[in-house]
Structure 1
Amino acid sequence: MLKKLKLIFLLALISGSPVFAQKQSGTETDAQKQKRMEWWTDSRFGMFIHFGLYSGAARHEWVKHNEHLSNEQYQKYFDQFNPDYFDPTKWAKEAKAAGMKYMVMTTKHHEGFCLFDSKYTDYKSTNTGAKRDLVREYVNAVRAQGLKVGFYYSLLDWHHPDYTMDDAHPLVQVDTSQANYDRLNKGRDMAKYRQYMRNQLTELLTNYGKIDVLWLDWSWDKKGQRRGRGKGAKDWGSVELLKLVRKLQPGIIVNNRLDLNEYKDGADFETPEQVSTAELAKYHGKTWETCQTFSGSWGYYRDENTWKTHRQLLDLLITSVSNGGNLILNVGPTARGEFDYRATRALDSLATWMHANNRAIYNCTFAPDTYKVPENDKLTYNAKTKRLYVHLYDYPAGGTITLPGYAGKIKYAAFLNDASELLYKPSATNPDDLILTLPAKKPLYEIPVVELTLN
């Protein structure tokens, strides 16, 4: 019997299937979770904000790590921090115009600087030239625009005196020897840092009203943890931390970076980061949100020029929804507290497309298998309204597209942007197919959308 159990366990490991039921830290049912998550899965589109002292350096949010800077060397960015153009109302209006339904802002990134008035540290915005609780202003602005409010909080902290060394810490990038780790860790107490996190998350989740999303970032994989140079659930006290979060904000939605994969309720959604659109198909049918930047950096990076085109951004959004997921796009404001002109330009282009085509995004997901995807295009689907959306990636020069196997399945076709009718007829070569006729002139949208009303 023991040999048989070992064989079952080995086969399960090979296949990736769970051997036993996952643990559960709470009592929420699947139906309750689905209801709690409903607004989020219907929204499909959000904005990330990465803002901190690194905005002054303007050369990547990991500048402290990349340049191996000590707290003393990094202090100049704290001393200079004074975002005189900080106006989260303007941010929220731009996000709303672009069709985003929720926002998530860094309250503390890996550098350890807090944008809120925490009583557990002096390393905060109220002690800079800003003299303001920037998180409070953000919350009020986002809520006033009718958007959902999200917080990002870094589990890493490169400033706190009790945070122990790991392979991401700035002070071990030059000397990775165990002797250097031991020297730097002398006097540090991770238990004190865990309490610090609990205290700050308690502040964030009690002092600012209802918070809809919490992004906690991040844990090493098991290999990194086994090396002794990375952190995971035990280091963060993740089980108790998540229980605290859910106690303080019962309706909150939490991401998957606490290293609680063995718990069924250890996370609400997966977070593929900066992946290609081709990779998103792997998450089809799961609950997920891909986090992406407009350019190659999360924080403001003045001289970084790999900005995504309008078409690339639309492809990310459409592909996310067509695989049943969300997209959260990141802006890194400048040190003066405003969006870079390139970010504003990208948001404006999204606003134009979303104004005309948002019905193909909100409340949508992947299409049922009975609807084949027309060649070179992508589909999204709204089960409540029985609408199928064809995203025309390659507008046909011949003026027609084939809807494979759609005969008898639709009763009306129109462009979504203006609701103008499109005519269709059975294919002469295959009666199961429909031939949809399109005007010679493409609508003034990078990727036009056809709305099909289903029978």
Structure 2
Amino acid sequence: MISKKLQLSVLLCLFLLQGVHAQKMIGNETPEQKEKRMEWWTQDRFGMFIHWGLYAQPARHEWVKSYEGLSNEQYQKYFDEFNPDHFEPKKWAKQAKAAGMKYAVLTTKHHEGFCLFDSKFTDYKATNTGAKRDLVKEYVDAFRAEGIKVGFYYSLLDWHHPDYTMDENHPLTKKDKSDAAYARLNKGRDMAKYRQYMRNQITELLTKYGKIDILWLDFSFPKPNGRGKGKDDWASVELLKMIRKLQPGIIVDNRLDLDEYKDGADFVTPEQVGTAELAKYKGKTWETCQTFSGSWGYYRDENTWKTHKQLLDLLITSVSNGGNLILNVGPTARGEFDHRATSALDSLSQWMHANDKSIYNCTYAPDSYRVPQNTKLTYNPKTKRLYVHLYEYPADGKLILPGYNNKIKYAQFLNDSSELIYKPSGGDDLVVSLPVKKPGFTIPVVELVLQ
């Protein structure tokens, strides 16, 4: 046992440490200022990710260079042959808008190091390929014209740059991960020079294209003995300060390894997780990034494509837990969306056209509203409307709303605003009478106007 005096001293130290931790900040933005800056993003809820680069040509995963341990020389053929003759970003933007996506994020540079933009700090860029132009600029112009917010993805990793040092993901370490191999491969490499290169390129991206709404930096993987990379390798604190100075209103993801700072990121990014896992992010500011299939880049022979219902479930479950969904498309090497992606977007377009009010400006329902069986709820706190997503259409035509008696004043299908009759079923429950024939949507939505 320890003395009471010592106990009080320990508690005081813990309190002070907690205070220091809570106050650790990079900038001086208040919670209210952050909420205002993030407001459009938390209301829009649905975005498009676009992973596109040289890896679209081998068409067997965006990490193909790493997975297959390819050298720069072996990978060069993809640069030499890159010529996206069907690249029409205006078409991409129209497809995104039709699907209900309010913002977009394009890979300006992925881990392979190839730049879709005209950077003056490298020759490894689209303007030196058959494309012969700045593809990022065309993307920006096209998506802005459709009223879609514009975001950039930039890889912190770079498997092409001569100064980027070895780690467990680098293609050249695939065959030999010994200390001797690392030392040999790192000879002549200087991470400080790469950090400056990275800062220069991010500066270009944030100064040449007007207002940029989102910056997705990817990714940190701190590990001992040079096997990973984290905040010190990227000089993350100074990098984030620079980003905020160049684009004060920008929203930045959480992959700079700055968790110890209260303002080290704007949102968390659960990647490729199942819908059941999303509940644990409720109450946080978050966005789940997901693919139509199992790959981010175009993968010709990948066949685990999600169904329309699975995609809807991701979107609805994200919003019902107070988060966003950014859904990825991997264009082909010719610069167009694969027919499977186009089909998926078209199906989302039909559902969103009729039911988007249950997504935009919505979040999780108040705890006082229990979730009816085989449904998921979203809620618009401004209009005070509750949305019941029918995952299974009741065979008997009766939707039981548990404990909803005296809580609602009108019910209708969201897709056509057609009235639904309801009445008490005994106790505090209500029963809503649904038509025998299910509306023509995989997941119909009932809109409840609350008291």
Change in 2 beyond 3 A, CA 1:425/1:46: same
Question: What SS does structure 2 have at the residue aligned with 1:295?
Answer: coil
1:60 is matched by which residue type in structure 2? Answer: H
Change in 2 beyond 3 A, CA 1:240/1:388: same
Change in 2 beyond 3 A, CA 1:186/1:87: same
Q: Does residue 32 of structure 1 match 2:33?
A: yes
Q: How much does 1:9 deviate?
A: 8.2
For 2:151 and 2:233, the matched residues in 1 are separated by 24
Q: TM-score under structure 2 normalisation? A: 0.97
Change in 2 beyond 3 A, CA 1:321/1:8: farther
Partner deviation per Cα, 1:219-259 (whole Å, 9 max, x = no partner):
01xxx423431000000000000001010000000000000
Contact preservation (8 Å) 1:331, 1:339: yes
Q: How much does 1:332 deviate?
A: 0.3
Question: What SS does structure 1 have at the residue aligned with 2:189?
Answer: coil
For 1:197 and 1:389, the matched residues in 2 are separated by 45
Contact preservation (8 Å) 1:413, 1:451: yes
Q: Does residue 159 of structure 1 match 2:157?
A: no
Contact preservation (8 Å) 1:423, 1:436: yes
Aligned to 2:91: 90
Aligned to 1:356: 354
2:438 is matched by which residue type in structure 1? Answer: K
Residues matched between the structures, number:
447
Aligned to 1:440: 436
For 2:41 and 2:367, the matched residues in 1 are separated by 24
Contact preservation (8 Å) 1:389, 1:452: yes
For 1:283 and 1:411, the matched residues in 2 are separated by 31
Contact preservation (8 Å) 1:298, 1:330: yes
2:323 is matched by which residue type in structure 1? Answer: G
Q: How much does 1:11 deviate?
A: 12
Q: How much does 1:21 deviate?
A: 1.3
Question: What SS does structure 2 have at the residue aligned with 1:378?
Answer: strand
Aligned to 1:195: 196
Partner deviation per Cα, 1:346-369 (whole Å, 9 max, x = no partner):
000000000000000000000000
Q: How much does 1:4 deviate?
A: 6.2
For 1:217 and 1:427, the matched residues in 2 are separated by 53
1:399 is matched by which residue type in structure 2? Answer: G
Aligned to 2:120: 119
Contact preservation (8 Å) 1:9, 1:19: no
Question: What SS does structure 1 have at the residue aligned with 2:215?
Answer: strand
Residues 254-333 of structure 1: pairs in structure 2 closer than 5 A? 254-333=252-331
For 2:9 and 2:374, the matched residues in 1 are separated by 48
Q: How much does 1:23 deviate?
A: 1.1
Residues 1-80 of structure 1: pairs in structure 2 closer than 5 A? 20-80=21-81
Question: What SS does structure 2 have at the residue aligned with 1:414?
Answer: strand
Aligned to 1:133: 134
Change in 2 beyond 3 A, CA 1:363/1:227: same
For 2:113 and 2:15, the matched residues in 1 are separated by 44
Contact preservation (8 Å) 1:233, 1:259: yes
Residues 388-407 of structure 1: pairs in structure 2 closer than 5 A? 388-407=386-405
Contact preservation (8 Å) 1:294, 1:330: yes
Question: What SS does structure 2 have at the residue aligned with 1:346?
Answer: helix
Q: How much does 1:376 deviate?
A: 1.6
For 1:19 and 1:28, the matched residues in 2 are separated by 17
For 2:188 and 2:35, the matched residues in 1 are separated by 45
Q: Does residue 243 of structure 1 match 2:244?
A: no
Aligned to 1:418: 416
For 2:19 and 2:448, the matched residues in 1 are separated by 40
For 1:415 and 1:47, the matched residues in 2 are separated by 27
For 1:249 and 1:426, the matched residues in 2 are separated by 54
Mark the runs of 5 or more structure 1 residues left unpaired by the alignment. none
Question: What SS does structure 1 have at the residue aligned with 2:57?
Answer: helix
Contact preservation (8 Å) 2:362, 2:380: yes
Question: What SS does structure 1 have at the residue aligned with 2:223?
Answer: helix
CA RMSD of aligned residues (A): 1.7
Change in 2 beyond 3 A, CA 1:105/1:91: same
2:298 is matched by which residue type in structure 1? Answer: Y
Question: What SS does structure 2 have at the residue aligned with 1:132?
Answer: coil
Contact preservation (8 Å) 2:166, 2:226: no
For 2:7 and 2:159, the matched residues in 1 are separated by 48
